[in-house]
Structure 1
Amino acid sequence: MLHRGQESTDGTGGGELSVPMAWLYAEYIADELLRTGDLMPPTSFEFRAGRDALALTVFLSDTENELSGIRVVTHLETWLSLTAYDQPWHEWVHGRLAEVTADAVAAGRHSPDLELARAAWRWLQDTELLAPDLNAVPGGAPVTGEDEGPKVWTPAWQLGLPLGHLAIHLF
């Protein structure tokens, strides 16, 4: 049974229950951006890939620990630049996760937000989705329908990242 004061949103509530508010808020922002863009059905794996990629971008770009008070419109340009095609997003996420983890270890605090971010990252890296081959050579066999043409297994982050980027543009 929980009593008033036992729950915590910052990991300092005596160890009973720590609510991952920063991650949940980042996930909420990502979900809203994708739903507003209406690019994929919310039940699809592609939507999840976009949501997780965007949530990681939002969560890891919060260097001032102000996520719960964030105004989405003031950060759109940052998120657009981080998710742009020519940016090393994959390496940035890897590096930021390492930094945030090191900070948490150095401070001796347990972070459920960080656990959820790492779980999302593992899913994005380890899961492959069947997607159109954007690198297919033009002039190959004629494509007769929207869902036809060459397809390849693609890491979820490589599919979710451009989807998230487009959702930001459409917001």
Structure 2
Amino acid sequence: MADDIGEALRVEILGAQHDRSAFESGIEPLDRYFRVQAGQDARKNMAAPFVLVLSDGTVAGYYTLSSTAVNLWDLPEKTARKLPRYPLVPATLLGRLAVDRRHQGKGYGRFLLADALFRAVRSEIASFAVVVDAKDDNARRFYERESFLSFPDQPMKLFRPMADIEQLFK
């Protein structure tokens, strides 16, 4: 985990002071988004990008949060049965999460995920779950290890109920 290496870590809202030009996770769409689009999305309130900053100011990773809605009938029947019969259920979208390849394997991905889940559960906006769209099978397995559940007909789209996330931080 990140604490094991003695690194001072902090997660901040993306700002002009954060150098994004050298960020390279190895997944081009995530890198391009971070270098080109993340600042615009923040300014237009389309997503809230957060960055993991090391003690030397290096950006080691990032994630984005935004609001979304899930079609009630896309959820597993066991989950949908417990919810009100609204056609759309409010959720929080963890739109992107990436760690720079120079810092992979240090637990920073889990650190960023924990920070994102904490911010989502702490929010005063109604949200049934945190939803992710895994970019590939490695990402899907990462989220499954962190107790995310797949949508029945969309194995790359996963969710973790907010009630479950709340239990993590009690």
Q: State the TM bucket, normalised to the shorter chain.
A: under 0.3
Larger Rg: 1
Answer 1 or 2: which has greater helix percent.
Answer: 1
Answer 1 or 2: which has greater strand percent.
Answer: 2
**TM-score, normalising length: structure 2:** 0.28
**TM-score, normalising length: structure 1:** 0.28
